[in-house]
Structure 1
């Protein structure tokens, strides 16, 4: 049974979620360096993040109070990206310095002087950020960045959409999407039945030892990064870098959402170039343009995409027919596209292709049945 919420309670929930990242800074003001999970190969790595300032007022207010939430929301709104900060990434004997853009974001692509050990998946790099001041010495802030590199055992790359593919967000219904993105915490967001078990099977491979790259993309804003991380951990979904498609703004510098034109396609192309010796599986949903984007990728990179799984969230005959035509189109390039109503259907198909262990299908079926009893 899903409880009803009054507008006042809904507003409190919105405030709580919107100010969640502000709680993590322990009331500090000044400059904050936020590094997102990086990714790469033994020869090169990518690290993204942001350097910003935020006010430090309101530290003495009680945690959890309405006034504190309102003050934290104001602090978050008043965040100001630090432009032209010098960000230095260090990993082993490799080092590269870049400057942040006017909104404080940095995007580092560093070639490595010495290849990384491919016997482990996660590597830790150091970030040093120098902030220039007009009348005093520059401040230097140091933090760490986690970087995922596929181990030698990896034989496949999985790229999955998040919204209405991994979890219910209602992208086809904009009001429902906004509600689920901002009003629901990680504990209340719901993964599709069986999705975690299916993704775990893809991660492990047919022999259980592949440790494949699991890369995720979302139409959501950078501001929900922490909530999505908690969601993945709570639902036992294999962790990977979460690559958001756009920054929605929500600052004085950029109060309106930025567009995400062709961004997903470009991200996939970047991954294809990075992992040029591995085949790919692409997973999305039927609600937006995932099938069309994925088909463009198949045609542009023939032989690289092993399978495409599209979760059917529309249940519209005309849309189903259009996707069926796309399936016929990609079949000419030795790729299979499956429009599926459930994670179990995807798992059965993946087992037939030899992508996952046959016994995984029964685990996905059993888990799907159990999780389907949960309210959405």
Structure 2
């Protein structure tokens, strides 16, 4: 995903998943592009505090279709583009574009094939990126003093996701509490660390999103796509409870729930019928055993440790 940067306005367009019968595109317009700062802290603060532009006229294009939409009070916009009657968007990856006041942004869109075996919905913080949410000082350090080049990825998670093939590759969505202003940073992090392309569904920070912000997004995805889902999160905050709620609301749709142990894992009842793992290799091995991942890929990505040979005393 790209964001035009200049002294004038800017537009963000978020990577997305769509279907052959329609693609929902979302983004945000800023009155002033976040300018480059002299430090990582300055750049992150400028991302978070850039003023939104209400009432901007945004031209959104995808595969030859173009429509005009007006940004809302928070600068956000969304549009559902549909192919001509009797036609369908082809499966695979394409590029969408948003333009406003002489600036533009592009984002990758995956039209999910009806044959995709499942949709993987992933958390970000402490699931695939080391954030240490349970430690306030470390959380602030990672949020404000790190960027896509310096934030640490959770070891093995990109390889785990890359091996998920049952037998075809699934599609991936990232549903996270990270602010929408960090979308370019998150997208760059994912690319740099070798994750497969993910649709980005981030949090619009505000009083109404202090809690229960993931469920509406996950519900929308599950209503949009007919495939079963695999949910991946961590134990540090509320992912087990959120995912248990989704599993109850959509009986038979959740194939597996993987929870990385990131702390607050003492209460085993939080993880009923879930896979609580410490290392990505454990989740990958379970996925391979249960037909969600390619065993050959998993064996190559996570080779077994050679057994230790004890020396016999002379």
Per the shorter chain, which TM-score range?
A: 0.7 to 0.9
Q: Which residue of 2 aligns with 1:193?
A: 155
Alignment partner for residue 284 of structure 2, among 302, 323, 347? Answer: 347
The answer for the alignment partner of 2:18 in structure 1 is 40
Separation in 1, partners of 2:265, 2:49: 44
SS of equivalent residue, structure 1 residue 30: coil
Aligned counterparts of 2:45 and 2:241: Cα–Cα separation in 1: 40
> Which 5+ residue runs of structure 2 have no aligned equivalent?
307-314
1:295, distance to aligned residue in structure 2 (A): 1.0
The higher-RCO structure (CA 8 Å, 6+ apart) is: 2
Instruction: Write out aligned runs for 1:93-242 (5 A).
Output: 94-113=65-84, 114-118=87-91, 121-129=92-100, 143-151=105-113, 153-202=115-164, 205-207=165-167, 210-242=168-200
Look up the match of 1:4: none
Equivalent residue in structure 2 for 1:272, among 222, 226, 234: 222
Residue among 309, 313, 316 paired with 2:258: 309
Give 1:92 deviation, angstroms.
4.3
1:204-229, Cα deviation, whole Å (9 max, x unpaired): x044xx23211112212223222222
Distance 1:125 1:193 in 2: 31
CA 1:77–1:357: 2 relative to 1, 3 Å = closer
Change (3 A) 1:83 1:363: same
Alignment partners' CA distance in 2, 1:312 and 1:77? 29
Equivalent residue for 1:295?
244
In the alignment, structure 1 segments of 5+ residues that lack a partner are: 1-20, 130-138, 249-256, 328-336, 370-376
Q: Which residue of 2 aligns with 1:251?
A: none
Q: Shift of residue 163 of structure 1?
A: 0.5
**259, 265, 269: which one pairs with 1:322?**
269
**Pairwise CA distance, 1:354:** 0.6
State how far apart, in whole Å, the 2-side matches of 1:234 and 1:75 are.
Answer: 22
Paired residues of 2:10 and 2:33 also in contact (CA < 8 A): no
Question: Is the helix fraction higher in 1 or 2?
Answer: 1
1:266 deviation in Å? Answer: 1.0
Q: Given that residues 9 and 30 in structure 2 are in contact (C-alpha distance below 8 angstroms), is that contact kept between their aligned partners in structure 1?
A: yes
- In our comparison, the structure showing a higher alpha carbon Rg is 1
2: CA distance, partners of 1:188 / 1:65: 16
Provide TM-score, normalisation by structure 2.
0.84
SS in 2 for 1:269: helix
Distance 1:306 1:32, change over 3 A: same
Q: Give CA deviations for 1:254-289 in whole Å, capped at 9, x if unaligned.
A: xxx76343221111111111111x111000111111
Matches of 1:151 and 1:85, distance apart in 2: 33
The CA distance in 2 between the partners of 1:192 and 1:77, in whole Å, is 24
